[in-house]
Amino acid sequence: MNAHSNKIALVTGATRGIGTETVRQLAQAGVHTLLAGRSRETAVELALQLQAEGLPVEAIALDVTDAASIAAAVEQVAQRHGRLDILVNNAGILLDDIQQPVSAQSLDVWRRTFETNVFALIGVTQAFLPLLRQSAGARIVNVSSILGSLTLHADPASPIYGFAVPAYNASKSAVNAWTVQLAYELREGPHKVNTVHPGYVKTDMNGGEGEVEVSTGAKSSVQMALIDADGPNGSFTYLGEVLPW
């Protein structure tokens, strides 16, 4: 029997790009994976495609910015499965106007970015924590970005020095900070929370620009989702390599 075949996972923002590929790879590892997206129709369509490949995938409607949608998803998972073993907080947006300087990004962009990338991520995690605590060893994976690294932004020799999408960057720094705080809370038990950089991936978010394929972009999330009891807690990594905060 596959070591992961009794696990239940949920991936947010899973109806495109890295999210869909994360679902695919978790399901290929034997995990029963819930493909979550704002559009139930799109989620069902993708889930059926993956089921046709013989993968254990289930669709679920989840708008991470809508409290009622989150509550309904939690209730559905509770009724169908009674617990959640893996939560991959993958949903995210990038709204910064790269033609504008840092100081000219609108407050509206900042608010909308933090609403999805930070507050929604925390809200989803808080809502699913009771089900995650029912797991023998829950894994929470927060998809961040190397662009959340304050250390690298401050280093003139780093590859991201001067990469100015400030609302997005700061939102990912906040995700990292939340991860560290939650990891501290969970430190004595079997549950673990980590944050990952997927790589500079060719996705819709960056108009297809990027250096690595989507299949590689999902690997860091999947690796952290499947770590054993000796795995890290409160880390920030890319394909197993520790990144600076």
Nearest to 237, CA basis, from 228, 223, 150:
223
Nearest to 122, CA basis, from 83, 175, 86, 76:
175
Instruction: Say if 1 falls within a structural domain.
Output: no
Instruction: Say if 98 falls within a structural domain.
Output: yes
Q: In what order do the strands lie in the sheet with 241-242?
A: 57-61, 32-37, 8-11, 86-89, 139-143, 192-196, 236-238, 241-242
Q: Which residues pair with 238 in a beta bridge?
A: 241
Give the number of other CB atoms < 10 A from CB of residue 116: 18
Confidence of residue 19 (pLDDT cuts 50, 70, 90): very high
Which residue range is the domain that position 108 belongs to? 8-242
Nearest to 84, CA basis, from 96, 75, 72, 97:
75
Instruction: Say if 127 falls within a structural domain.
Output: yes
Instruction: Say if 155 falls within a structural domain.
Output: yes
Instruction: Say if 205 falls within a structural domain.
Output: yes
Instruction: Say if 2 falls within a structural domain.
Output: no
Average per-residue pLDDT in the chain? 94
Higher pLDDT, 42 or 1: 42
Averaged pLDDT for residues 214-239 = 94
Antiparallel, parallel or unpaired: β 86-89 and 8-11: parallel
> CB-based burial of residue 177 (10 Å sphere; 0-12 exposed, 13-18 middle, 19+ buried)?
middle
Tell me the catalytic residues.
168, 172
Cα separations in angstroms, 176 against 18, 111, 124, 245: 19, 18, 16, 8
Q: Is residue 206 scored above 50 in pLDDT? A: no
Q: Is residue 205 scored above 70 in pLDDT? A: no
Domain count, the chain: 1
The per-residue pLDDT for 1 is: 53
pLDDT in tens, 135-150: 999 999 999 999 999 9
Averaged pLDDT for residues 157-178 = 95
CATH number for the domain spanning 170: value is 3.40.50.720
